[in-house]
Structure 1
Amino acid sequence: MHVTHLSLADFRSYAGAEVELDPGVSSFIGPNGQGKTNLVEAIGYLATLSSHRVSSDTPLVRMGAERAVIRAAVTEGEREQLVELELNPGRANRARLNRSTQVRPRDLLGVVRTVLFAPEDLHLVKGDPGERRRFLDDLVTARAPRLAGVRADYERVLKQRNTLLKSAAMARRHGGRGVDLSTLDVWDQHLARSGAELLARRLALVAALRPLADKAYERLAPGGGPVGLEYRGSAERANEEAAGAGSDVTASRDELYEVLLAALATARAQEIERGVTLVGPHRDDLVLRLGELPAKGYASHGEAWSLSLALRLASYDLLKEEGPEPVLVLDDVFAELDARRRERLAELVAGGEQVLVTAAVEQDVPGVLSGTRFAVAEGRVTRE
């Protein structure tokens, strides 16, 4: 899979941009703040319906504009598709696929597949659990795009349930009339059902990633492992199922549904008191280990970088095994790495069907990644 053309209108710093892309390596070179990352961010948005830099769409629309448009032509074997997304902050985004408007944004998932390496990846190791949950869920959705609907259902039910719990907690604290909690059992069932689907996919993903991440880390930092990935569930019995998944025994959705339902029942009194849902995939974590120690708090800066890169390489290898080879995006990564890791990473990704690299100076791009060069300056992208 590769992107053959990228078109932007009022996206970030670009009033308009048209970029023809080739298979193989393409590098975007220019000083910081000139719009290099904006180009690869747009491609990543088409793949995930989110940005790796910001949590809302508002910053993605050029100052003074009402909307932004990202359009890309994508080739997969003999098949060519045109993907278009209109970003409308505060309103629903609009999508088109092969010029048809009868699609939802999430119907675009899977048309473009990317694996992104960025400086923000260090948060996978050193950041809070939300960073690792997002990593898992984005990869789950890349493997099975229909899971976007499951994620949306889970978030919707979680929001409704939290609203009910918060109202009950506030009424109790202020001595008002009790809130009717008769619908809580129904919300529990909905949350456990979508949560079990998401949890089952996460457990299967972690089991698949373990050997790939360990192998990737060894290639980046020989002798520095082994790497361990442990899924830590907020429901005690979910941890037992996660341990089973580590032996390639994946828990069934029905089993996980019962686990979550029981955990919600056990936590109910505490949840009503605190006004928030305390059990479910939104409270879980992926624990990363180097040897016997957890990476968070113990890994050096170099080790943390190697581990975060290993997770991305493992993601790339997994997606490549299961479907079209994803587009590799390396956004200003080489400037963050020492010479040894820089060369090893470049050698590992150089053979990708399409590799997009951003760098402030040409010297930051290893020689093995020779290919098409674009100069980016003052909102213009020029092929050299």
Structure 2
Amino acid sequence: MHVTHLSLADFRSYTRAEVPLAPGVTAFLGPNGQGKTNLVEAVGYLATLGSHRVSADAPLVRQGAERAVVRAVVRQDEREQRIELELNPGRANRARINRSSQVRPRDVLGILRTVLFAPEDLTLVKGDPGERRRFVDELVTARAPRMAGVRSDYERVLKQRNSLLKSAAMARRHGGRGVDLSTLDVWDQHLARVGAELLAQRLDLLAVLGPLADKAYERLAPGGGPVALAYRGPVTGASREELYAGLVAALGEARKQEIERGVTLVGPHRDDVLLRLGELPAKGYASHGESWSFALALRLAAYELLKSEGHEPVLVLDDVFAELDARRRARLAELVAPAEQVLVTAAVPEDVPQVLSGARFAVADGEVAPL
């Protein structure tokens, strides 16, 4: 899989940009703040419907513009598909596949798959549980695009349930009439049903991702492991039915406390992934270099998993080599070089290891030009 053309209109710093791409390595070079990351961010958005830098779409639209448009031509084997996303902050986004406008944005998922390496990856190890949940859920969706709908359904049910709990908590605090909580059982069942599907997918993913991460870590830092991934949450089970029953029971046990606090305290939105290095949790115990190796190993494992399932993703390395010491830089470059397509951003050519030779573009003042 690779992108053969990227087109931007009013996306970030670009009024217009047309970038031809090819298999192999393509490096975007230029000083910081010139728009290199904006290019690979657009590629990532087409793959995930989200940015690795911001949580909302508004910052992605060029200042003064009403909307932004990102287009790409994606080739897999002998098939080409054209995908387009129109970003409309405050309104519904629109999508096209091969010029057909009768699709939802999430229908684009699965056409292009990417694995992104970025300086922000360090938060996978050192950051809050939300960073690890996001990593897992994006990979779950990359494997099975239908999970975008499941995640959306979960967020919708969670929002409705939280609204009911918040109203009940406020009524209690102000001594008013109690809120009718008769529908809470129904919301519990909805949350447990959708949550069980999300939990099952997460658990299945970690079961296959863990050994791949351990292997990748050994290649990046020989003798430094082993590493392991473990799911951390109050509900366990070998089947969706067991996970559903466990969630219903856990919600029942937490109900009194949830009504007091006005928020849902049990569910996949509260869980975490424990990253273990040797016998200790990586968070709080791993050195800076070990944390970087672990984060890189997670991304490499994601790449190997998607590739093994027949969907080799585009690799995106956004200014990551400048963050690494010479040893990790060389090892990472050697591991990603054989990929079908690698997109790299760097401030200076010297930041791109020699093994990653290929096309070069200069990025400056909103312009992208071949070198």
Give the TM bin, normalised by the shorter chain.
Answer: over 0.9
| Structure 1 counterpart SS, 2:3 | strand
| Distance in structure 1 (CA, Å) of the matches to 2:74 and 2:311 | 12
| Structure 1 counterpart SS, 2:80 | strand
Residue matched to 1:124: 124
| Distance in structure 2 (CA, Å) of the matches to 1:102 and 1:59 | 26
TM-score by length of 1: 0.96
1:94-126 Cα distance to aligned partner (Å, 9 max, x none): 000000001000000000100000000000000
Residue matched to 2:350: 363
1:4-54 Cα distance to aligned partner (Å, 9 max, x none): 000000000000000000100000000000000000000000000000000
| Structure 2 counterpart SS, 1:137 | helix
Residue matched to 2:35: 35
What's the offset of the Cα at 1:323? 2.1
Residue matched to 1:246: none
Tell me if 1:291 matches 2:291. Answer: no
What's the offset of the Cα at 1:261? 0.5
Residue matched to 1:274: 261
Letter in 2 for 1:133: R
What pairs with 1:38-77 in structure 2 (closer than 5 Å)? 38-77=38-77
What pairs with 1:1-384 in structure 2 (closer than 5 Å)? 1-233=1-233, 235=234, 237-238=235-236, 241=237, 251-384=238-371
| Distance in structure 2 (CA, Å) of the matches to 1:267 and 1:36 | 47
TM-score by length of 2: 0.99
| Distance in structure 2 (CA, Å) of the matches to 1:340 and 1:324 | 29
Aligned length, in residue pairs: 371
What's the offset of the Cα at 1:83? 0.2
| Distance in structure 1 (CA, Å) of the matches to 2:219 and 2:311 | 23
What's the offset of the Cα at 1:254? 1.1
| Distance in structure 2 (CA, Å) of the matches to 1:46 and 1:262 | 39
* CA RMSD in angstroms, aligned pairs only: 0.5
1:259-285 Cα distance to aligned partner (Å, 9 max, x none): 101110111111111100010000000
Letter in 2 for 1:382: A
| Structure 2 counterpart SS, 1:177 | coil
1:118-173 Cα distance to aligned partner (Å, 9 max, x none): 00000000000000000000000000000000000000000000000000011001
Q: Where does structure 1 lack aligned partners over 5 or more consecutive residues?
A: 242-250
| Structure 2 counterpart SS, 1:166 | helix
Give the fraction of aligned pairs with identical amino acids, expressed as a percent. 81
| Distance in structure 1 (CA, Å) of the matches to 2:34 and 2:222 | 37
| Structure 2 counterpart SS, 1:222 | coil
Q: Where does structure 2 lack aligned partners over 5 or more consecutive residues?
A: none
What's the offset of the Cα at 1:255? 1.1
